[in-house]
Homo-oligomer: A and B are copies of this chain.
Amino acid sequence: MISVGEARERILALLAPTGAEIVPLAAAAGRVLAEPVVARLTQPPHDVSAMDGFALRAADGVAGMRLRVIGAAPAGHPFAGTVGPGEAVRLFTGSVVPAGADAIVIQEDTEHDDASVTLREAARPGRHIRRAGQDFAAGETLLAAGRVLGARDIGLAAAANHPWLAVRRRPVVAVLATGDEIAMPGEPIPPGGIVSSNSHALAAYIRAAGGEAVILPVAPDDRAAIGAAAAAAARADLLVTTGGASVGAHDLVQAGLAERGLDVDFWKIAMRPGKPLMAGMLGGVPVLGLPGNPVSALVCAVLFLGPAIARLTGRPDEAPPTEPARCTVALAANDHRADHLRATLARDEAGGWRVTPFPVQDSAMLSRLAQADALLLRAPDAPAEPEGAMVRVIRLDSCGM
Protein backbone atom coordinates (compact mmCIF):
# COMPACT_ATOMS: atom_id res chain seq x y z
CA MET A 1 0.00 0.00 0.00
CA ILE A 2 1.20 3.52 -0.74
CA SER A 3 0.52 6.73 1.18
CA VAL A 4 -2.05 9.38 0.31
CA GLY A 5 0.75 11.85 -0.44
CA GLU A 6 2.59 9.47 -2.74
CA ALA A 7 -0.62 8.64 -4.61
CA ARG A 8 -1.29 12.34 -5.12
CA GLU A 9 2.21 12.93 -6.46
CA ARG A 10 1.87 10.05 -8.90
CA ILE A 11 -1.50 11.31 -10.16
CA LEU A 12 -0.19 14.85 -10.60
CA ALA A 13 2.78 13.53 -12.57
CA LEU A 14 0.35 12.37 -15.26
CA LEU A 15 -1.09 15.87 -15.76
CA ALA A 16 -0.05 19.15 -17.37
CA PRO A 17 -1.87 22.51 -17.49
CA THR A 18 -4.23 23.15 -20.39
CA GLY A 19 -3.43 25.77 -23.01
CA ALA A 20 -4.68 29.34 -23.05
CA GLU A 21 -7.85 30.70 -24.59
CA ILE A 22 -9.11 34.24 -25.00
CA VAL A 23 -12.33 35.10 -23.20
CA PRO A 24 -14.21 38.37 -22.82
CA LEU A 25 -13.38 40.24 -19.63
CA ALA A 26 -16.94 39.67 -18.42
CA ALA A 27 -16.47 35.89 -18.62
CA ALA A 28 -13.05 35.76 -16.95
CA ALA A 29 -14.01 35.87 -13.27
CA GLY A 30 -13.02 32.69 -11.48
CA ARG A 31 -10.73 31.66 -14.34
CA VAL A 32 -6.95 31.24 -14.12
CA LEU A 33 -4.91 33.91 -15.88
CA ALA A 34 -2.64 32.39 -18.55
CA GLU A 35 -0.73 35.58 -19.43
CA PRO A 36 0.08 38.52 -17.18
CA VAL A 37 -2.14 41.59 -17.40
CA VAL A 38 0.03 44.59 -18.32
CA ALA A 39 -1.39 48.10 -18.00
CA ARG A 40 -2.23 49.59 -21.40
CA LEU A 41 -2.53 53.07 -19.96
CA THR A 42 -1.54 55.14 -16.97
CA GLN A 43 -4.06 55.53 -14.17
CA PRO A 44 -4.98 58.22 -13.43
CA PRO A 45 -3.91 59.46 -16.87
CA HIS A 46 -3.25 62.97 -15.52
CA ASP A 47 -3.06 64.63 -12.14
CA VAL A 48 -6.68 64.63 -10.97
CA SER A 49 -8.63 66.02 -8.05
CA ALA A 50 -9.47 63.65 -5.19
CA MET A 51 -12.26 65.96 -3.97
CA ASP A 52 -14.81 68.53 -5.09
CA GLY A 53 -13.17 71.98 -4.85
CA PHE A 54 -11.14 74.58 -6.70
CA ALA A 55 -7.79 74.43 -8.48
CA LEU A 56 -5.45 77.37 -7.91
CA ARG A 57 -1.80 78.37 -7.75
CA ALA A 58 -0.26 77.44 -4.42
CA ALA A 59 0.99 81.02 -4.08
CA ASP A 60 -2.67 82.13 -3.93
CA GLY A 61 -3.63 79.47 -1.37
CA VAL A 62 -3.86 81.83 1.60
CA ALA A 63 -6.80 81.95 4.02
CA GLY A 64 -9.02 84.96 3.18
CA MET A 65 -7.82 85.19 -0.43
CA ARG A 66 -10.56 85.85 -3.02
CA LEU A 67 -10.01 84.40 -6.51
CA ARG A 68 -11.81 84.80 -9.80
CA VAL A 69 -13.44 81.58 -11.05
CA ILE A 70 -12.48 81.34 -14.74
CA GLY A 71 -14.18 78.05 -15.52
CA ALA A 72 -15.14 74.57 -14.44
CA ALA A 73 -13.72 71.15 -15.31
CA PRO A 74 -16.24 68.38 -14.66
CA ALA A 75 -14.79 64.86 -14.86
CA GLY A 76 -14.47 64.08 -18.56
CA HIS A 77 -14.38 67.76 -19.55
CA PRO A 78 -10.88 69.09 -18.82
CA PHE A 79 -10.36 72.85 -18.63
CA ALA A 80 -8.54 73.94 -21.80
CA GLY A 81 -6.88 77.08 -20.44
CA THR A 82 -4.26 77.84 -17.80
CA VAL A 83 -4.85 79.01 -14.23
CA GLY A 84 -3.07 82.32 -13.69
CA PRO A 85 -2.41 84.38 -10.55
CA GLY A 86 -5.64 85.33 -8.76
CA GLU A 87 -7.61 82.70 -10.69
CA ALA A 88 -9.35 79.43 -9.81
CA VAL A 89 -11.13 76.63 -11.70
CA ARG A 90 -14.01 74.61 -10.25
CA LEU A 91 -13.15 70.89 -9.99
CA PHE A 92 -14.93 67.69 -9.01
CA THR A 93 -13.67 64.28 -7.88
CA GLY A 94 -11.77 62.89 -10.84
CA SER A 95 -11.40 66.22 -12.67
CA VAL A 96 -8.10 66.80 -14.44
CA VAL A 97 -6.07 69.45 -12.60
CA PRO A 98 -5.72 72.28 -15.13
CA ALA A 99 -2.42 73.70 -16.32
CA GLY A 100 -0.97 76.34 -14.04
CA ALA A 101 -2.66 75.00 -10.90
CA ASP A 102 -0.64 73.15 -8.25
CA ALA A 103 -3.00 73.26 -5.29
CA ILE A 104 -6.62 72.41 -4.51
CA VAL A 105 -8.88 73.82 -1.88
CA ILE A 106 -11.90 71.66 -1.07
CA GLN A 107 -15.29 73.28 -1.43
CA GLU A 108 -16.13 72.88 2.28
CA ASP A 109 -13.23 75.27 2.99
CA THR A 110 -14.56 78.05 0.72
CA GLU A 111 -17.35 80.49 0.13
CA HIS A 112 -18.10 80.65 -3.54
CA ASP A 113 -20.48 81.66 -6.30
CA ASP A 114 -20.19 81.24 -10.06
CA ALA A 115 -17.79 84.15 -10.42
CA SER A 116 -15.55 84.03 -7.36
CA VAL A 117 -14.28 81.92 -4.49
CA THR A 118 -12.98 83.03 -1.10
CA LEU A 119 -10.69 80.66 0.82
CA ARG A 120 -11.46 80.00 4.48
CA GLU A 121 -8.40 77.78 4.87
CA ALA A 122 -4.93 77.86 3.37
CA ALA A 123 -4.31 75.38 0.52
CA ARG A 124 -1.33 73.04 0.77
CA PRO A 125 0.55 72.41 -2.52
CA GLY A 126 -0.18 68.91 -3.84
CA ARG A 127 -2.87 68.14 -1.27
CA HIS A 128 -6.05 66.48 -2.65
CA ILE A 129 -4.26 65.82 -5.95
CA ARG A 130 -3.97 62.24 -7.18
CA ARG A 131 -0.81 62.19 -9.28
CA ALA A 132 -0.79 60.69 -12.78
CA GLY A 133 0.14 57.02 -12.41
CA GLN A 134 -0.61 56.88 -8.68
CA ASP A 135 -2.61 53.67 -9.25
CA PHE A 136 -0.48 52.25 -12.10
CA ALA A 137 1.65 53.26 -15.07
CA ALA A 138 1.39 52.01 -18.66
CA GLY A 139 3.58 48.93 -19.09
CA GLU A 140 3.36 47.88 -15.45
CA THR A 141 2.45 44.23 -14.78
CA LEU A 142 -0.71 44.31 -12.70
CA LEU A 143 -1.72 40.66 -12.46
CA ALA A 144 0.59 37.65 -12.75
CA ALA A 145 -0.11 34.54 -14.78
CA GLY A 146 -1.60 31.82 -12.61
CA ARG A 147 -3.82 34.14 -10.62
CA VAL A 148 -7.41 33.04 -10.05
CA LEU A 149 -9.34 36.13 -11.11
CA GLY A 150 -11.56 37.70 -8.45
CA ALA A 151 -13.95 40.60 -8.91
CA ARG A 152 -11.31 43.20 -8.04
CA ASP A 153 -8.93 41.69 -10.63
CA ILE A 154 -11.64 42.03 -13.26
CA GLY A 155 -12.01 45.67 -12.25
CA LEU A 156 -8.28 46.23 -12.44
CA ALA A 157 -7.99 44.57 -15.88
CA ALA A 158 -10.88 46.77 -17.06
CA ALA A 159 -9.22 49.92 -15.71
CA ALA A 160 -6.03 48.87 -17.53
CA ASN A 161 -8.13 48.73 -20.74
CA HIS A 162 -8.29 44.99 -21.40
CA PRO A 163 -11.56 43.89 -23.03
CA TRP A 164 -10.21 40.34 -23.41
CA LEU A 165 -8.04 38.15 -21.20
CA ALA A 166 -5.98 35.03 -21.85
CA VAL A 167 -6.99 32.33 -19.37
CA ARG A 168 -6.37 28.61 -19.06
CA ARG A 169 -8.89 26.58 -21.00
CA ARG A 170 -11.23 24.76 -18.63
CA PRO A 171 -10.05 21.14 -18.60
CA VAL A 172 -12.61 18.69 -19.93
CA VAL A 173 -13.10 15.95 -17.34
CA ALA A 174 -15.19 12.99 -18.47
CA VAL A 175 -16.98 10.96 -15.78
CA LEU A 176 -17.79 7.32 -16.38
CA ALA A 177 -19.94 5.40 -13.91
CA THR A 178 -20.37 1.68 -14.43
CA GLY A 179 -22.74 -0.96 -13.15
CA ASP A 180 -25.81 -2.90 -14.23
CA GLU A 181 -27.54 -1.72 -11.07
CA ILE A 182 -27.25 2.02 -11.79
CA ALA A 183 -30.18 4.15 -12.97
CA MET A 184 -30.22 7.88 -13.67
CA PRO A 185 -32.46 9.95 -11.35
CA GLY A 186 -36.09 9.80 -12.43
CA GLU A 187 -35.54 6.85 -14.77
CA PRO A 188 -36.76 3.27 -14.17
CA ILE A 189 -34.70 1.50 -11.52
CA PRO A 190 -33.71 -2.12 -12.26
CA PRO A 191 -34.46 -4.84 -9.66
CA GLY A 192 -32.01 -4.49 -6.80
CA GLY A 193 -30.74 -1.32 -8.45
CA ILE A 194 -29.89 2.11 -7.08
CA VAL A 195 -29.89 5.62 -8.49
CA SER A 196 -26.59 7.01 -9.75
CA SER A 197 -25.17 9.58 -7.39
CA ASN A 198 -21.43 9.58 -7.98
CA SER A 199 -21.52 10.98 -11.52
CA HIS A 200 -23.66 13.93 -10.50
CA ALA A 201 -21.70 14.72 -7.36
CA LEU A 202 -18.38 14.40 -9.20
CA ALA A 203 -19.60 16.59 -12.08
CA ALA A 204 -20.66 19.30 -9.63
CA TYR A 205 -17.30 19.04 -7.87
CA ILE A 206 -15.40 19.21 -11.18
CA ARG A 207 -17.32 22.35 -12.20
CA ALA A 208 -16.74 24.00 -8.82
CA ALA A 209 -13.03 23.26 -9.17
CA GLY A 210 -12.90 24.95 -12.57
CA GLY A 211 -13.31 21.98 -14.93
CA GLU A 212 -15.80 21.24 -17.66
CA ALA A 213 -17.62 18.03 -16.68
CA VAL A 214 -18.89 15.56 -19.25
CA ILE A 215 -21.06 12.79 -17.76
CA LEU A 216 -20.78 9.76 -20.04
CA PRO A 217 -23.73 7.35 -20.23
CA VAL A 218 -23.57 4.71 -17.50
CA ALA A 219 -21.71 1.65 -18.82
CA PRO A 220 -23.13 -1.81 -18.07
CA ASP A 221 -20.97 -4.45 -16.40
CA ASP A 222 -19.43 -5.58 -19.68
CA ARG A 223 -15.79 -5.23 -20.70
CA ALA A 224 -16.44 -4.24 -24.29
CA ALA A 225 -19.11 -1.70 -23.34
CA ILE A 226 -16.83 -0.14 -20.73
CA GLY A 227 -13.99 0.06 -23.23
CA ALA A 228 -16.22 1.68 -25.83
CA ALA A 229 -17.58 4.17 -23.29
CA ALA A 230 -14.07 5.14 -22.22
CA ALA A 231 -13.04 5.56 -25.85
CA ALA A 232 -15.65 8.33 -26.07
CA ALA A 233 -13.39 10.31 -23.74
CA ALA A 234 -10.48 10.29 -26.19
CA ARG A 235 -10.35 14.10 -26.29
CA ALA A 236 -10.84 14.67 -22.56
CA ASP A 237 -8.07 16.14 -20.42
CA LEU A 238 -8.91 13.56 -17.75
CA LEU A 239 -11.16 10.52 -17.53
CA VAL A 240 -12.59 9.77 -14.08
CA THR A 241 -14.21 6.40 -13.53
CA THR A 242 -16.18 5.42 -10.48
CA GLY A 243 -16.69 1.91 -9.24
CA GLY A 244 -14.99 -1.17 -10.52
CA ALA A 245 -11.55 -0.33 -9.18
CA SER A 246 -11.60 -3.11 -6.59
CA VAL A 247 -10.71 -6.76 -7.08
CA GLY A 248 -14.06 -8.54 -7.49
CA ALA A 249 -15.05 -10.55 -10.53
CA HIS A 250 -17.50 -7.81 -11.44
CA ASP A 251 -14.92 -5.06 -11.24
CA LEU A 252 -14.48 -4.74 -14.92
CA VAL A 253 -13.35 -1.19 -15.47
CA GLN A 254 -9.69 -2.02 -15.34
CA ALA A 255 -10.21 -5.00 -17.65
CA GLY A 256 -12.36 -3.00 -20.06
CA LEU A 257 -9.84 -0.19 -20.25
CA ALA A 258 -6.92 -2.61 -20.51
CA GLU A 259 -8.42 -3.97 -23.72
CA ARG A 260 -8.25 -0.41 -25.07
CA GLY A 261 -4.58 -0.09 -24.14
CA LEU A 262 -4.71 1.34 -20.61
CA ASP A 263 -1.25 1.66 -19.15
CA VAL A 264 -2.47 0.98 -15.64
CA ASP A 265 -1.09 1.78 -12.26
CA PHE A 266 -3.33 0.18 -9.66
CA TRP A 267 -2.88 0.99 -6.05
CA LYS A 268 -4.13 0.14 -2.70
CA ILE A 269 -3.72 3.36 -0.76
CA ALA A 270 -3.21 3.28 2.99
CA MET A 271 -6.34 5.31 3.64
CA ARG A 272 -9.94 5.01 4.75
CA PRO A 273 -12.43 5.42 3.19
CA GLY A 274 -11.32 4.66 -0.33
CA LYS A 275 -8.52 2.12 -0.37
CA PRO A 276 -8.59 1.11 -4.04
CA LEU A 277 -7.59 3.72 -6.61
CA MET A 278 -6.55 3.27 -10.22
CA ALA A 279 -4.47 5.67 -12.28
CA GLY A 280 -2.95 5.40 -15.70
CA MET A 281 -2.88 6.59 -19.28
CA LEU A 282 -5.36 5.49 -21.93
CA GLY A 283 -4.07 6.52 -25.37
CA GLY A 284 -2.82 9.86 -24.11
CA VAL A 285 -5.74 10.48 -21.75
CA PRO A 286 -4.93 10.40 -18.03
CA VAL A 287 -7.35 8.13 -16.14
CA LEU A 288 -8.27 8.33 -12.47
CA GLY A 289 -10.33 5.41 -11.17
CA LEU A 290 -12.24 6.30 -8.00
CA PRO A 291 -13.96 3.80 -5.68
CA GLY A 292 -17.65 3.10 -6.15
CA ASN A 293 -18.91 3.76 -2.63
CA PRO A 294 -20.22 7.33 -2.67
CA VAL A 295 -18.39 8.54 0.42
CA SER A 296 -15.14 6.91 -0.71
CA ALA A 297 -15.52 8.44 -4.15
CA LEU A 298 -16.10 11.94 -2.79
CA VAL A 299 -13.38 11.80 -0.14
CA CYS A 300 -10.97 10.65 -2.87
CA ALA A 301 -12.24 13.51 -5.04
CA VAL A 302 -11.26 16.01 -2.33
CA LEU A 303 -7.85 14.40 -1.84
CA PHE A 304 -6.91 13.59 -5.45
CA LEU A 305 -9.33 15.00 -8.04
CA GLY A 306 -9.29 18.55 -6.64
CA PRO A 307 -5.49 18.81 -6.84
CA ALA A 308 -5.63 17.14 -10.29
CA ILE A 309 -7.97 19.83 -11.62
CA ALA A 310 -5.83 22.50 -9.96
CA ARG A 311 -2.82 21.12 -11.84
CA LEU A 312 -4.79 21.05 -15.10
CA THR A 313 -5.88 24.68 -14.69
CA GLY A 314 -2.45 25.93 -13.65
CA ARG A 315 -3.33 26.61 -10.01
CA PRO A 316 -1.29 25.43 -6.99
CA ASP A 317 -1.99 21.72 -6.71
CA GLU A 318 -1.17 20.98 -3.09
CA ALA A 319 -3.15 18.82 -0.72
CA PRO A 320 -6.44 20.40 0.39
CA PRO A 321 -5.86 23.00 3.12
CA THR A 322 -6.29 21.87 6.71
CA GLU A 323 -7.23 23.82 9.83
CA PRO A 324 -6.68 23.10 13.52
CA ALA A 325 -9.65 21.98 15.64
CA ARG A 326 -10.17 20.68 19.16
CA CYS A 327 -11.76 17.22 19.23
CA THR A 328 -14.75 16.90 21.56
CA VAL A 329 -14.37 13.13 22.01
CA ALA A 330 -11.54 10.74 22.75
CA LEU A 331 -10.04 9.09 19.68
CA ALA A 332 -8.92 5.45 19.55
CA ALA A 333 -5.46 4.62 18.23
CA ASN A 334 -5.49 4.45 14.44
CA ASP A 335 -4.31 1.48 12.36
CA HIS A 336 -1.89 1.79 9.46
CA ARG A 337 -4.39 3.56 7.20
CA ALA A 338 -4.83 7.37 7.13
CA ASP A 339 -8.40 8.02 8.23
CA HIS A 340 -10.78 10.77 7.16
CA LEU A 341 -13.58 10.84 9.71
CA ARG A 342 -16.79 12.62 8.73
CA ALA A 343 -17.38 15.22 11.42
CA THR A 344 -19.29 18.33 12.42
CA LEU A 345 -17.70 21.65 13.37
CA ALA A 346 -18.78 24.30 15.85
CA ARG A 347 -17.06 27.52 16.95
CA ASP A 348 -15.79 27.67 20.51
CA GLU A 349 -15.81 30.82 22.64
CA ALA A 350 -12.38 31.90 21.41
CA GLY A 351 -13.35 31.60 17.75
CA GLY A 352 -11.56 28.28 17.19
CA TRP A 353 -13.12 25.07 15.88
CA ARG A 354 -14.48 22.18 17.90
CA VAL A 355 -14.83 19.01 15.87
CA THR A 356 -17.03 15.98 16.59
CA PRO A 357 -16.77 12.86 14.41
CA PHE A 358 -19.93 10.87 13.68
CA PRO A 359 -19.95 7.58 15.65
CA VAL A 360 -20.70 5.51 12.53
CA GLN A 361 -18.38 6.01 9.53
CA ASP A 362 -19.75 3.65 6.86
CA SER A 363 -18.48 4.62 3.40
CA ALA A 364 -21.90 4.14 1.81
CA MET A 365 -23.62 6.74 4.01
CA LEU A 366 -23.99 9.72 1.73
CA SER A 367 -26.57 11.43 3.96
CA ARG A 368 -23.97 11.49 6.73
CA LEU A 369 -21.41 13.07 4.39
CA ALA A 370 -23.94 15.78 3.52
CA GLN A 371 -24.40 16.48 7.26
CA ALA A 372 -20.65 16.70 7.82
CA ASP A 373 -18.79 19.99 7.91
CA ALA A 374 -15.32 18.53 7.73
CA LEU A 375 -13.07 15.50 7.45
CA LEU A 376 -11.12 14.89 10.66
CA LEU A 377 -7.66 13.64 9.68
CA ARG A 378 -6.05 10.72 11.50
CA ALA A 379 -2.51 9.90 10.42
CA PRO A 380 -1.45 6.27 9.91
CA ASP A 381 -0.68 4.68 13.29
CA ALA A 382 -1.75 7.82 15.17
CA PRO A 383 -1.88 7.08 18.92
CA ALA A 384 -5.07 7.28 20.98
CA GLU A 385 -5.96 10.86 21.94
CA PRO A 386 -7.92 12.08 24.97
CA GLU A 387 -10.98 14.28 24.62
CA GLY A 388 -9.88 17.84 23.86
CA ALA A 389 -6.84 16.93 21.75
CA MET A 390 -5.95 19.22 18.85
CA VAL A 391 -6.40 17.64 15.40
CA ARG A 392 -6.44 18.86 11.78
CA VAL A 393 -9.57 19.03 9.64
CA ILE A 394 -10.39 19.63 5.96
CA ARG A 395 -13.49 21.82 5.67
CA LEU A 396 -15.92 20.50 3.12
CA ASP A 397 -17.90 23.67 2.41
CA SER A 398 -14.85 25.64 1.34
CA CYS A 399 -13.96 23.35 -1.55
CA GLY A 400 -17.28 23.11 -3.39
CA MET A 401 -17.95 19.70 -1.88
Contact = CB atoms under 8 A, between A and B. Distances in A.
Interface of A: 25-26, 29-30, 41, 43-46, 50, 52, 73-78, 92-96, 107, 130, 134-136, 140, 142-143, 148-164, 179-182, 184-186, 189-205, 207-208, 215, 221, 246-250, 292-294, 298, 301, 323-324, 351, 362, 364-370, 396-398, 400-401
A221 B73 CA distance: 13
Contacts of A249: 52, 92
A399 to B, nearest CB: 9
A140 B215 CA distance: 28
Contact of A365 (B135, B184, B208): B135
* Centre residue among A143, A164, A364 by max chain B CB count within 10 A: A364
Contacts of A215: 26
Nearest to A185: B163
Contacts of A25: 185, 200
B195 A159 contact: yes
Contacts of A43: 194, 366-367
Given A163-B185, A185-B158, A200-B158, A364 B130 contact: yes
Contacts of A96: 192
A201 B301 CA distance: 32
B135 A367 contact: yes
A300 to B, nearest CB: 13
Contact of A152 (B136, B184, B369): B369
Contacts of A189: 41, 161
A191 to B, nearest CB: 6
* Centre residue among A134, A156, A365 by max chain B CB count within 10 A: A156
Q: Lowest 5 A-B CB distances belong to which pairs?
A: A155-B201, A76-B181, A76-B180, A163-B186, A29-B204
A135 B370 CA distance: 11
B76 A201 contact: no
Nearest to A159: B197
* Centre residue among A152, A155, A181 by max chain B CB count within 10 A: A152
B294 A155 contact: yes
B41 A195 contact: yes
Contact of A201 (B30, B73, B151, B196): B151
Contacts of A44: 194, 364
Contacts of A203: 26, 154
Given A194-B44, A250-B74, A366 B152 contact: yes
Given A52-B247, A156-B366, A367-B156, A185 B200 contact: no
* Centre residue among A74, A249, A370 by max chain B CB count within 10 A: A370
Contacts of A201: 151-152, 154-156, 158
Given A50-B364, A75-B221, A155-B197, 15 more contacts: A29-B400, A41-B189, A74-B180, A78-B192, A134-B365, A140-B367, A150-B208, A151-B208, A152-B369, A155-B294, A155-B298, A158-B197, A163-B185, A323-B351, A398-B398
Given A134-B362, A162-B185, A292-B94, A151 B202 contact: yes
